[in-house]
Amino acid sequence: MELKFYNTLTRKKEFFVPIEPGHVRMYVCGPTVYDRPHLGNARSVVVYDVLYRLLAECFPRVTYARNITDVDDKINAAAKTNGEPISALTTRVEGWFHADMAALNCAVPTIEPRATKHIPQMIAMIEKLIARGHAYAADGHVLFAVESYSEYGRLSGRKLEDLISGARVEVEDYKRHPGDFVLWKPALANDDASSVFDSPWGKGRPGWHIECSAMSSEYLGDYFDIHGGGSDLMFPHHENEIAQSCCAKPGVQFARFWIHNGFLTVGGEKMSKSLGNFTTVKDVLDKGVKGEVVRMALLMSKYNEPLDWNGKLLHDAELMLGKFYKMVGAEAEEDVPQAFLDALGDDLNTPRAFAALYSMAPAEAVAALKFLGFLQMSPAEWFAKETPADAKVDEAWVLAKIAARIDAKIAKDWAAADGFRKELTDHGIVVKDRPDGTTDWDWA
């Protein structure tokens, strides 16, 4: 089948064919492990999980690398605030990340390199950049000279004179150009020893951007098929990756396709920790929302378009999955329906793929959803009510009270019906009257 993806580098949809026949190599920027992942972080992981599944269906071999950034200024700051060693923080947060993504049925990448395990590769790349005149040491730092790379700004469309407004760009007097970015930074007197490394330029730690260039090159080579990440990483992170990678090894193109997922928004504003408008994956799961519902909600809009997070989105995702869970008993199909794959193959068009489900036979729809990481529970598990640990009543009692309330409403004994509702509410039960006349319930 044909695959087409929107390539940020060329600003158009292009046919995808792997550089090495039968083997796709993909790198995706992973988490910086200083705090729990929020739903915006999760959207990126889920999107590239879908891409990974599609590629694995179409090609014999897929190498999917997603890094762990475990050395960073944000990590240092969080560890100091918590009064704990950096290693304790990063180990704990990495565990949270893996648990939360597993709850969303995301597959494990082929390779998950950690930045702290690749310091020698970063130093070697920095040395090459200095030797070729693309980097310079100044005031204990090593910086990349953006003016040395004529194609700087090609990915993001930014011009050198505009770089002063770029995210994470510091204007220091030791920089030759305001847009020059850090490849190596000196250690501070109070830095945790685990975040300090020896280098030819003194003790310190790598800059953010050099980490991904070194790790992607280590596992995927100097020229690979796909580089993915959130659209907020396009500049400066991905722009800087291209510059330093292409300058360290002249003649290479680094990544052929650049794929960026859109923002998750809240009321039209980007969800982020810096704005304080974020919801963590754990926050939602702790409210009893199933991981598959969160996964579905994150895929109900085109991956590279904004997606506004709200209660209706979750409600619609749960209703949709509930309909298909009723089909799980259908005879299993061995193959994923072609119409479903064709929709995904057209730039990961999940809304079109989901729309196609309704014209399929039940067994085909079930096969398609299972392929995409859904319908992993039994119908009994899916439709079972989750009872809070401190609940004082059982499900049979709840159903009996709901039945009595329905009888009271039929008899137009509104006072009795209200009384049964209040009794249920007093025991932590939320009664939901549906437009079709049925009644549902849940724990408050």
- Give the rounded percent of residues in the chain with a pLDDT score beyond 90: 73
To the nearest 10°, the Cα dihedral for 142, 147, 148, 152?
A: 100
pTM assigned to the model: 0.85
- Give the rounded percent of residues in the chain with a pLDDT score beyond 70: 94
Q: Residue 350 pLDDT more than 50?
A: yes
Task: Supply the pLDDT for residue 54.
Answer: 98
The whole-number average pLDDT for the span 236-248 is: 97
In angstroms, rounded to a whole number, what is the distance separating the alpha carbons of residues 86 and 98?
18
Q: Residue 68 pLDDT more than 90?
A: yes
Question: Coil, helix or strand for 436?
Answer: coil
Distances (CA, A) of 66 to 26, 63, 110, 113, 129: 8, 10, 8, 7, 24
**What pLDDT digit, counting tens, does each position of 261-299 carry?**
999 998 888 887 777 778 999 999 999 999 999 999 999
Helix (H) or strand (E) holding 352, with range, is: helix 350-357
In the chain, where the domains are located: 4-264, 287-383, 395-443
In angstroms, rounded to a whole number, what is the distance separating the alpha carbons of residues 243 and 207?
14
**What pLDDT digit, counting tens, does each position of 84-121 carry?**
999 999 999 999 999 999 999 999 999 999 999 999 99
| Edge-first strand listing for the sheet containing 204-206 | 135-138, 141-144, 181-186, 204-206
User: Of 21-35, 302-316, 383-397, which range is least confident?
Assistant: 383-397
The percent of the chain in helix, strand and coil, each rounded to the nearest 5, is 45, 20, 40
Task: Supply the pLDDT for residue 393.
Answer: 66
φ, ψ dihedrals at 429, nearest 5°: -110, 130
In angstroms, rounded to a whole number, what is the distance separating the alpha carbons of residues 342 and 328?
23
Residue 167 pLDDT level (bands cut at 50, 70, 90): very low
Superfamily of domain 4-264: HUPs (3.40.50.620)
Task: Supply the pLDDT for residue 389.
Answer: 52
Distances (CA, A) of 145 to 180, 233, 241: 5, 20, 13
Residue 390 pLDDT level (bands cut at 50, 70, 90): low
Q: Residue 49 pLDDT more than 90?
A: yes
In angstroms, rounded to a whole number, what is the distance separating the alpha carbons of residues 67 and 32?
9
Q: Which CATH number fits domain 287-383: 1.10.287, 3.30.420, 1.10.10, 1.20.120?
A: 1.20.120
In angstroms, rounded to a whole number, what is the distance separating the alpha carbons of residues 430 and 228?
42
Residue 388 pLDDT level (bands cut at 50, 70, 90): low
Task: Supply the pLDDT for residue 145.
Answer: 97
Q: Residue 171 pLDDT more than 90?
A: no
User: Of 159-163, 342-346, 429-433, which range is least confident?
Assistant: 159-163
